[in-house]
Amino acid sequence: MADQVLLSGGKSVRGRTGPYPTLNSRSGRPKRAPLFFFFALIALSAVILILIARKPSGQPVLIVSGETEGLQTEAARPTLFPVHVDGAVKNPGLYYFAESSIMEDAIKQAGGLSPLADCGAVNLAMLLRPHMKIYVPREGEDVAWLPLGEDEPEAEALIDLNRASQRELETLPGVGQATAEAILAFREENGPFSDIEELMQVPGIKEGRFSKLKDRVTVTGP
C-alpha cells in the first residue's frame, strides 16, 4: 500500500511500506552500510596481522653449541712454555710461562730469592726462552756459566774445568757424580788444567768419552 510521506516545505511523496530498509534522511543510503564497512575493517585488520606474523624477524637467532664455545675458549688460552728454575730460590722446580715473561716472573713463581742468593748476579729484566734453565747462584758461589741474566749465545756456554763446581760438571754429557768427583780430585791434586786433553788423565775418562766432552769444556788461567 502506498503511503504519503510529508516532507519539509509541505510537499509529500508517495512511498511504499513493508520490509524495505529505511533510507537515511541525509544521504539516501541504507542504514546497514556502516555495518558492512565495520566487518570489512575487521577483515582487513586480520589480513595485516597475518602478514606481520609471517614476516621474518630482522635479527637472526644465533645458536652457539657447546663445542663451538670450547673451541673459542681454547683459542683464547695463551700458550705456555716450561722453564727450570734452580739454585738460590725458595721453591726450585719446573714452571710454565707465557710469551714475553721475564726473569722477575720466574723468580716470583719460584717463591722469590732465598736469603743466600747473590742478587747482583741476577738480571730481572732478562727475557725467558722456552726450555731454558735458570740457576741463581748463592753468595760466594763460584759459577762457571755466564753471569745469570746476560744474553746467552746460541751455543751452550762452555764449562771451565778450572772453575766448575761438581753440580756444573754433572751437566756435561756422560758425566755423573763419580766422574765429576774424579775431575775435582784430579784438579785438587795436580793443580789447574792447562789443556782440555788432560781430561783423559782422569780415571774413567778415555778417548771415547773425551770426544763427547771436548766441545763443551774449556780451561782458563787460575
Confidence band (pLDDT; 50, 70, 90) for 2?
A: very low
* pLDDT at position 146: 44
Only one residue has cell 683464547, namely 76
My answer on whether 162 and 136 are in the same domain is no
Confidence band (pLDDT; 50, 70, 90) for 76?
A: low
Q: Tell me which of 141, 169, 192 is where a domain ends.
A: 141
My answer on whether 163 and 221 are in the same domain is yes
Q: In 52-172, where do the E strands start and end?
A: 80-87, 93-98, 133-136, 159-160
Confidence band (pLDDT; 50, 70, 90) for 200?
A: very high
Per the structure, how many domains does the chain have?
2
My answer on whether 190 and 217 are in the same domain is yes
My answer on whether 137 and 163 are in the same domain is no
Other beta carbons within 10 Å of 123: 15
- Tell me, yes or no, whether 2 lies in a domain: no
Q: Report the C-alpha gap between 21 and 179 in whole angstroms.
A: 128
My answer on whether 105 and 133 are in the same domain is yes
pTM given for the model: 0.36
Q: Report the C-alpha gap between 50 and 193 in whole angstroms.
A: 100
Q: Report the C-alpha gap between 93 and 91 in whole angstroms.
A: 6
Mean pLDDT to the nearest integer, 15-23: 49
Please give the residue range of the domain that contains residue 219.
Answer: 158-222
* pLDDT at position 57: 54
CB contact at 8 A, 128 and 106? yes
- Tell me, yes or no, whether 125 lies in a domain: yes
Phi, psi of 189 (to 5 degrees): -80, -35
CATH assignment of the domain containing 209: 1.10.150.320
User: What tens digit of pLDDT does each residue of 80-134 get?
Assistant: 988 999 989 999 998 999 989 999 999 999 999 999 998 877 888 889 988 888 8
